[in-house]
Structure 1
Amino acid sequence: MTTGTGPGRSGRSGQWRVDFDATVVFSNGGSLSTEGFRLDIPGDAIDDAELGELLVRHLGLLMVGSTSISRKELIQEPHKGSRNTGAAAESGRRTVDLTGPGTRLDRPDATAAGREGAAAIKGGLAGLEGLVDLPVVLVRLTGAGEPVADRLALAPFEPAGHAVVIHTGRADGPWLAPDAVALLAERGAALVATDSGHRDGPEAKALAEAGLPLLTGLSGLAELPAVGVRLHAVPYPSAEGERVRVYGVTT
């Protein structure tokens, strides 16, 4: 088992996560085992007792009698937004240009959208106010065998009024399941974005029908912290038609 020395005590920089196996024993009977579980950590090292507490807080477990860690590996990779772990957003305002060579903005047409989508467009989501200064829900799928967000992948998040940014880690390919579009529309997402350049599939059509603007082909998503980001998408005219520059601003 790899051991640690406590959060942030080795002087290594960057964001770190831990991959581990654990057993949680409940004081009123029963137990819970995890294998290959990963969590963000607030530093670059963690000992077994601290990791056990982190797991309990993250899952919101009650009546825990004891925890034991049987395997642990530290991994340097971007945080994915593990809840209640103390791995907070980096402090200080910073602007990250997320515009890639293939970044495109698709804004739905009220005549093509469904009834609810058309109502959202008329409510202002198609204007500039629906594209700038939006709080971000960052869904990291990097490392997944098939980085496609379905309803379960989005279930932990509250997308109402947010730009839902899906980080796949690949330049093309499907990235959103059809059932996830319905969830985003039901929960009031303001905009959907991804680093994938795939913009002609069924997910794009479903988003347009739901009245949700779509940004594809973003870059630099690995530079964003998991929380505390606001998105600005600024359209501008060019010889190639309407283009867009996209920025992520940490707060």
Structure 2
Amino acid sequence: MLRYRAEFDAEVTFTDGGDLSARRFQVDVPHPDVTEAEITERLIALLAPRPVDRARLSAVRVFGEPAVIPGPRRPPTRFVELSHVIRDGLTTYPGLPGPRISRYLSHAESRDRYAPGTEFSIDRITLVGNTGTYLDSPFHRYPDGTDLAGLPLDRLAELPAVVVRAAGGPRGVTAAALAEVDVAGRAVLLHTGGDRHWATKDYAVDAPYLTRDGAQDLVDRGAALVGIDAVNIDDITAQAHGERPAHSLLLAAGIPIVEHLTNLAALPPHGFRFTAVPPRIAGFGTFPVRAYATVPA
């Protein structure tokens, strides 16, 4: 489909005084056979409300070009950061080693490899997958489960999402607490307020978690992903005796888990999208993610 435009030079004199000269001026025209008089009328209409006494056109050229059909406008959005910063030596989960960040090649060491004034840093990090804000794939719990490389993007990126407000309530988020939330096909983010203790000795003490019946409810109703802003989605106190029902039920159903989220208080209860994508690493179950929400502005 073509749109047609007329290009011309113009000399215009106004009734109320003054004049205008234009070179290679362009206006839209309805068809390729438009007359010079019709082009002049369009120019005069564009100059309104200035009254035109005389308009003289020259070097007139009519041409076609592909029409640009605008697609549907996407409403303006903003991003909300939901991940913790990973720093050297950070303790994410009690008993697991913190990351070690170093340089394989520093800026200074690289200078003799490149042209004068050109330098790079090639960095190295040693860490366990359970560092910072991270995502669990089924392989984290089950030897034959899908690993990070096997997770489809449509289970990780731009998911419609909801927030379950559980901060200040009982430690365990139960099925009853989820009853009024539409979870089918959505990322369900449990806002417990546990992140206020991040990187302190209190982070793992009596931490919030998702109960067995809460996890089963999310499986039964088809949640796409489940996240929590606490040290673990399961109860890790001694009273739990090492059982991990939330991990077991969700990952058996192929539902990824994101732990150690933060800033969930900044999100609306629904109407936004959630993304948490790890690298495609084969034979790996858990890895840090940059989790964020896309929220209507």
Q: TM-score range by the shorter chain?
A: 0.5 to 0.7
Q: Kindly state the Cα deviation for residue 209 of structure 1 after the two structures are TM-superposed.
A: 2.0
Percent of matched pairs sharing the same residue:
36
Kindly report the root-mean-square deviation, in angstroms, between the aligned alpha carbons of the 2 structures. Answer: 3.1
- Is 1:166–2:209 an aligned residue pair? no
Give distance in 2, aligned partners of 1:155 and 1:195.
20
Picking from 105, 118, 135, the partner of 1:105 is 135
2:249 partner amino acid: A
1:245 partner amino acid: R
Tell me which residue corresponds to 2:230: 196
Picking from 192, 198, 206, the partner of 2:249 is 206
2:186 partner amino acid: H
Larger Rg: 2
State the SS of the aligned residue for 1:234.
coil
Picking from 212, 219, 236, the partner of 1:178 is 212
Give distance in 2, aligned partners of 1:113 and 1:250.
36
Tell me which residue corresponds to 2:294: 249
- 1:86-119 CA-to-partner distances (Å, cap 9, x unmatched) read xxxxx951101101142111011399399xxx7x
- Is 1:148–2:169 an aligned residue pair? no
Tell me which residue corresponds to 2:64: none
- With structure 1 as the length reference, what TM-score do the two structures score? 0.54
Give distance in 2, aligned partners of 1:234 and 1:178.
26
Residues 187 and 113 of structure 1: CA distance in aligned 2, closer, same or farther (over 3 Å) = farther
Residues 163 and 113 of structure 1: CA distance in aligned 2, closer, same or farther (over 3 Å) = farther
Residues 142 and 199 of structure 1: CA distance in aligned 2, closer, same or farther (over 3 Å) = closer
State the SS of the aligned residue for 2:291.
strand
State whether residues 209 and 234 of structure 2, in contact with CA within 8 Å, keep that contact through their aligned partners in structure 1. Answer: no
1:215 partner amino acid: V
Count, aligned residues: 152
Q: Kindly state the Cα deviation for residue 186 of structure 1 after the two structures are TM-superposed.
A: 0.9
Q: Kindly state the Cα deviation for residue 149 of structure 1 after the two structures are TM-superposed.
A: 1.3
Q: Extract structure 1 runs of 4+ deviating beyond 6 A.
A: none
Residues 168 and 236 of structure 1: CA distance in aligned 2, closer, same or farther (over 3 Å) = same
Q: Kindly state the Cα deviation for residue 182 of structure 1 after the two structures are TM-superposed.
A: 1.2
Give distance in 1, aligned partners of 2:194 and 2:233.
14
Give distance in 1, aligned partners of 2:274 and 2:140.
23
State whether residues 161 and 189 of structure 1, in contact with CA within 8 Å, keep that contact through their aligned partners in structure 2. Answer: yes
- 1:154-193 CA-to-partner distances (Å, cap 9, x unmatched) read 1101111100000000134241010111111111100000
1:104 partner amino acid: Y
Picking from 150, 161, 167, the partner of 1:136 is 161
Structure 2 matches for 1:11-26, cutoff 5 A?
A: none
- Is 1:234–2:277 an aligned residue pair? yes
Task: Flag structure 1 segments of 5+ consecutive residues without an equivalent.
Answer: 1-90
Q: Kindly state the Cα deviation for residue 200 of structure 1 after the two structures are TM-superposed.
A: 6.1
State whether residues 113 and 211 of structure 1, in contact with CA within 8 Å, keep that contact through their aligned partners in structure 2. Answer: no
Q: Kindly state the Cα deviation for residue 233 of structure 1 after the two structures are TM-superposed.
A: 0.9
Tell me which residue corresponds to 2:268: 225
Residues 97 and 207 of structure 1: CA distance in aligned 2, closer, same or farther (over 3 Å) = same
- With structure 2 as the length reference, what TM-score do the two structures score? 0.46
State the SS of the aligned residue for 2:194.
coil
Residues 190 and 111 of structure 1: CA distance in aligned 2, closer, same or farther (over 3 Å) = same
1:194 partner amino acid: I
Give distance in 2, aligned partners of 1:224 and 1:242.
24
1:94 partner amino acid: R
Tell me which residue corresponds to 1:17: none
Task: Flag structure 2 segments of 5+ consecutive residues without an equivalent.
Answer: 1-74, 86-131, 196-203, 236-243
Picking from 64, 80, 101, the partner of 1:96 is 80
Residues 111 and 248 of structure 1: CA distance in aligned 2, closer, same or farther (over 3 Å) = closer
State the SS of the aligned residue for 1:161.
coil
Q: Kindly state the Cα deviation for residue 129 of structure 1 after the two structures are TM-superposed.
A: 1.5
Tell me which residue corresponds to 1:157: 181
Q: Kindly state the Cα deviation for residue 199 of structure 1 after the two structures are TM-superposed.
A: 4.8
